[in-house]
Amino acid sequence: MTEQVKPQASVLANLDEVRAMIKRHKLNDSIFAIIGLVALMIGLLTLLTLFVDLVMDGYPRFNLDFMSEFPSRRAGSAGLLSAWVGSLLVLSVTFISAVPMGVGAGIYLEEYAPKNWFSDLIEINVTNLAGVPSIIYGLLALGLFVYILGLGQSIITAGLTLGLLILPVVIVSTREAIRSIPVAIREAAYAVGATKWQVVSQHVVHYSFGGILTGVIIGMSRAIGETAPIITIGALTFIAFLPPSPVTSEPPFLNFDWLFSGFTVLPIQMFSWLSRPNPEFHINAAATGAIIIVVTLLMNGTAIWLRYNMRKKIKW
Amino acid sequence: MQSKFVMSMSVAAFVAAAFAAPVSHAAPEKIIKIDGSSTVYPITEAVAEEYQKSTKTKVTVGISGTGGGFKKFCRGETDISNASRPILQKEIDDCKANGVQFIELPIAFDALTVVINPKNEFAKTMSVADLKKMWEPAAQGKIKTWKQVNPAWPDQPLKLFGAGADSGTFDYFTEAIVGKAKSSRGDFTASEDDNVLVNGVAGDVNAIGYFGYAYYDENKDKLRAAAIVEKAGSPAVLPSRESIENGTYQPLGRPIFIYVNATAAAFKPHVKGFVDYYLTKSKPLIEEVKYVPLPQKDQDAVIKHWKELKPGTGFGGVAEVGVKVEDLLSRIK
């Protein structure tokens, strides 16, 4: 009898210990979940408070006139026209310069580059560049684009500067996206006799396109809010006309004068309004801030949506 | 399929950009480039806005600060430079090295306003000597309470708010109060953004700060302007349109300027047209943005000076304080 009770007691004691242990671990689980939730809420609520505050301050300006008027000394009739057109033109230069270069560099580094100390060095540098403060890019651009290349304080200078700024982001995210393609896919393609270029263009890039696009859009949404490098290269504060149109009525129908035009962008217009003595202008600044946040959210939202949809379509 | 997507993306960007800008005239465009002081900016912006309504000339105005503006101006990158203080010797040398000659035109007055918290009842008037005691470099780390400045004031901590070291406002205040431009104690809250200073002083009973009159005027309900006693025995004067115009608000009443590239003035009709407009039509605009226009007599003298296209400065490269506009212009030969 006693022989039987003893092991049972020890099993029970053991069971209690195990239960206590499980309880402890469960507690740890929920503690971490709470910490994580609090951390998430701090970030989210800060953004939400900021956004609601901007919208409440800026709502008198949310109308079409605000988008279609030039800046003015009168806060009520001052608008964002030259700023949003400037932002759009600068971002198209950024897109056209950074995306082919960044995606190309990413594909090369991942698929073609020999693995030696030199490509390691490049890899370290690209990753480091992604963390360089944006003002440094502004100083580089001031010396290189504005003075040495003589491009002046123009849209092309600003676009190329922001292009350099987001280049590392595009390269790194392209590589991440390519790396997520299983080796088996490549091997299968090679097995049926595809050349390297066919493998890269028809499979690797195709399947990682959603990820690449996400990186591009995140880079672009970083570029839209950048102020420091644009101020450094000399964006204007008051500009009540639009750059020359890229499309003309006479042959050759294309005109690149706009690339060399002076400009302003949304965050600079906001900054300039914020430093005005008249508090009426602070309403304009708040409205501009809200618009920048909405545009950024829309861009990031599009990135998430595209990635989700493209992932869904791929069936391996 | 994926390459189509990339193509359509870039085409979309191009097309959007194309439609954003209306079709412009093929003729070479006349653009006037202006940069410089943030203090002068509201006036120049207002003039540029009105001028562009009546002509085809395009005007751009940037804010780089008085010093930053002169750097660009002396490299010949801008046609006109906004300045809240006279051009300094180093800047004159830079201009000379690049063959840039300039015409100095006072356009309005500003009053550097010393502000305290509205709850501060003891320091409604203060003398230049008091201010010097607070702000001179020797005060750094030593003058920490109001009582140390003036025994009649209570033993409360002294909180200083002032202009950032790159601004013409800082140069002028230090020249007028301490006696040497850029000579100031360093342990104060400095900001290029005057709204930071406004909020700082509005939120602290023991605070004192200084900035341009327009910022005080817009925030009268949150701030109190101190009346300034120039020297022992003279009356305490509050900054106001009258006291600035008749020259009794001393030494902090100051003229503000535009500097025009003399070559552009002589050979570019659109620059000349803009400055003509500036000097003759700006009076209501200056009042609208809360600055003080020059008295008519001085305005006439400035216009005459402009018509004669006389290059040079009346200050000889130092930020002299309290000069009358007439005297200034007559010094330029």
List average pLDDT for each run of 10 residues in chain B, which is 333 residues long. 49 45 48 90 92 89 88 93 90 93 92 92 91 91 90 92 85 89 88 86 93 89 92 87 84 91 91 94 90 89 89 78 74 69
> Whole-angstrom Cα distance, residue B181 to residue B52?
37
Chains A and B form CB pairs within 8 A to the count of 117
For residue range A155-194, list pLDDT tens digits in order: 999 999 999 999 999 999 999 999 988 899 889 999 999 9
- Mutate one of B25, B60, B64 to test the A interface: name it (highest A CB count within 10 A): B60
> Which residues from A are below 8 Å from B288, CB to CB?
73
Region of residue A158 (left: phi > 0; alpha: psi -120 to 50; beta: else): alpha
Burial of A87-118, coded b for 16+ CB within 10 Å and e otherwise, reads: bbbbbbbbbbbbbeebbebbbbbbbeeeeeee
A202 touches chain B (CB under 8 A): no
| A309–B contact, CB cutoff 8 A | no
CB contact under 8 A, A238 and B48: yes
Length of chain A: 316
Buried b (16+ CB within 10 A) or exposed e, A199-230: bbeebbbbbbbbbbbbbbbbbbbbbbbbbebb
Q: A279 by DSSP, 3-state: which?
A: coil
Tens digit of pLDDT for each residue in A90-135?
A: 999 999 999 999 999 999 998 888 888 988 898 899 888 888 899 9
Chain A, nearest residue to B218 by Cα:
A278
Tokens of A157: 């200078």
A73/B285 touch (CB, cutoff 8 Å), yes or no = yes
Q: How many CB atoms lie within 10 A of CB A16?
A: 10
Query: What is the C-alpha to C-alpha distance for residues B324 and A130, in angstroms, rounded to an integer?
Result: 55
Q: How far is B123 from chain A (nearest CA, A)?
A: 24
Max Cα distance, chain B (Å): 86
User: Chain B residue with minimal CA distance to A282?
Assistant: B195
Q: Which residues contact B155 (CB under 8 A, 6 or more apart)?
A: B145, B146, B147
- Specify which residues B237 forms β-bridges with: B228
Task: Enumerate the residues of chain B whose CB falls inside 8 A of the CB of residue A279.
Answer: 218-219
CB contact B38 to A (< 8 Å):
yes
Task: Please determine, for the modelled complex, whether the ipTM score is greater than 0.95.
Answer: no
Pick from A301, A134, A288, A158: which is nearest to A218 by CA?
A: A301
- Judging contacts by C-beta atoms under 8 Å, the chain A residues touching residue B5 are 209
Given a contact cutoff of 8 angstroms between Cβ atoms, the answer to whether A236 and B61 are in contact is yes
Confidence (pLDDT) at A40: 95
Residues in B closer than 8 angstroms to A91, CB to CB, are: 13
The answer to whether the CB of A233 falls within 8 A of the CB of A156 is: no
Q: What is the DSSP letter of B155?
A: S
